[in-house]
Amino acid sequence: AQSVTQLDSQVPVFEEAPVELRCNYSSSVSVYLFWYVQYPNQGLQLLLKYLSGSTLVKGINGFEAEFNKSQTSFHLRKPSVHISDTAEYFCAVSGAGGYQKVTFGTGTKLQVIP
Amino acid sequence: EADIYQTPRYLVIGTGKKITLECSQTMGHDKMYWYQQDPGMELHLIHYSYGVNSTEKGDLSSESTVSRIRTEHFPLTLESARPSHTSQYLCASSERSDNGGYTFGSGTRLTVV
């Protein structure tokens, strides 16, 4: 069984400040890891993914995430946020390989304050 | 443009009515999924399909049914809507390998009164 924990349900941050959204996972097998963003009244959009290789993954809109196997974490970071980054962010994990179940976290609402 | 479409975006319907939520994708993806999303909760998988004529129930018990007669089309049907079905329903698709993650539709927000 696998699980995803997003400890922070809401993260307020001032515009142009850095932000880190935390994600921890548990799994007994090798994993793929994903971050999605959901803007109001929209579906989820893939931000970035870790499949293998370099543990630092860069995604769209200036976001990046680092896979830490020893700490079973996949935290999302951005050095300087904009108002347009206000959205809900979901971490997700699946077993490596095809036909594996994907488990989503409960989401973190990022509120960027002008 | 390759995309995934859900209709309707919003639906308010009375108890006991039969409804079908539509989902179509133009990417030729083999796999399609239906998720239920409620505020503050993780997304719950209610149905999935790995190809034409293949459908499976997900983790969350659901009174809905799905069909996959064509690769691009994956409709979800509620035979008799109840207030407990009020939620947001998200359709998604992915390539066979899942390496690319999921592409989601914009969702259908269903309210049963």
Contact B98 A46 (CB under 8 A): no
Residue B73 lies in a domain: yes
Q: Which residue has the higher pLDDT, A94 or A99?
A: A94
- B103 within 8 A of B89, measured Cβ to Cβ: no
| Closest to B33 measured CA to CA, from A100, A106, A2 | A100
Residue B79 lies in a domain: yes
Host domain of residue B87: 13-97+105-112
- Bridge partners, A95 (sequence order): A31
Task: Answer yes or no: is pLDDT of B96 > 80.
Answer: no
Contact A49 B100 (CB under 8 A): yes
pLDDT of residue B51: 93
What is the arithmetic mean of pLDDT over B35-44?
89
**Domain harbouring A84, CATH code:** 2.60.40.10
pLDDT of residue B39: 85
Task: Answer yes or no: is pLDDT of B105 > 80.
Answer: yes
Q: Which of A4-13, A52-61, B55-64, B84-93 has the lowest mean pLDDT?
A: B55-64
What is the arithmetic mean of pLDDT over B97-109?
86
Task: Answer yes or no: is pLDDT of A114 > 80.
Answer: yes
Residue B4 lies in a domain: no
Of B40, B99, B106, the CB nearest to A9: B40
What 3-state DSSP class applies to B12? strand
Residue B6 lies in a domain: no
Percentage of chain A beyond pLDDT 90 is 76
Residue B87 lies in a domain: yes
DSSP tag of B73: B
> pLDDT digits over A14-68, tens only?
999 999 999 999 988 888 999 999 998 889 999 999 988 899 999 999 999 999 9
Distance CA A27, CA A102 (A): 11
Tokens 């505020």 belong to residue: B39
Residue B90, both tokens = 């998200």
Q: How many other β-carbons are positioned within 10 Å of the β-carbon of residue B2?
A: 10
CB contacts of B6 in chain A (<8 Å) are 43
Contact B41 A34 (CB under 8 A): no
Domain count, chain B: 1
* Residue B10 C-alpha, separation from nearest chain A C-alpha, in angstroms: 10
Distance CA B46, CA B24 (A): 17
Distance CA A73, CA A24 (A): 4
pLDDT of residue B100: 66
Pairing of strands A19-21, A44-50: unpaired
> pLDDT digits over B55-75, tens only?
999 887 778 999 999 999 999
Q: How confident is the model at residue B98 (pLDDT cuts 50, 70, 90)?
A: low
Q: How many other β-carbons are positioned within 10 Å of the β-carbon of residue B48?
A: 22
Task: Answer yes or no: is pLDDT of B95 > 70.
Answer: yes
**CA max distance for chain B:** 40
Of B42, B97, B101, the CB nearest to A46: B101
**Domain harbouring B54, CATH code:** 2.60.40.10
Host domain of residue A59: 3-113
Residue B8 lies in a domain: no
Q: HSE on the CB side for A9, CA within 13 Å?
A: 5
pLDDT of residue A98: 62
Task: Answer yes or no: is pLDDT of B99 > 70.
Answer: no
Residue A83 φ/ψ, nearest 5 degrees:
-55, -40
Q: Which residues contact B79 (CB under 8 A, 6 or more apart)?
A: B18, B63, B65
* Angle A35-A87-B106 from CA coordinates, rounded to 5°: 80
Residue B92 lies in a domain: yes
**A72 burial level (CB within 10 Å; 0-12, 13-18, 19+):** middle
- Chain B interface mutation, best of A31, A102, A103, A106, highest count of B Cβ atoms under 10 Å: A102
The mean pLDDT value of chain B amounts to 92
Residue B88 lies in a domain: yes
Distance CA A79, CA A60 (A): 13
Domain count, chain A: 1
- A64 within 8 A of A48, measured Cβ to Cβ: yes
> pLDDT digits over A74-88, tens only?
999 999 999 999 999
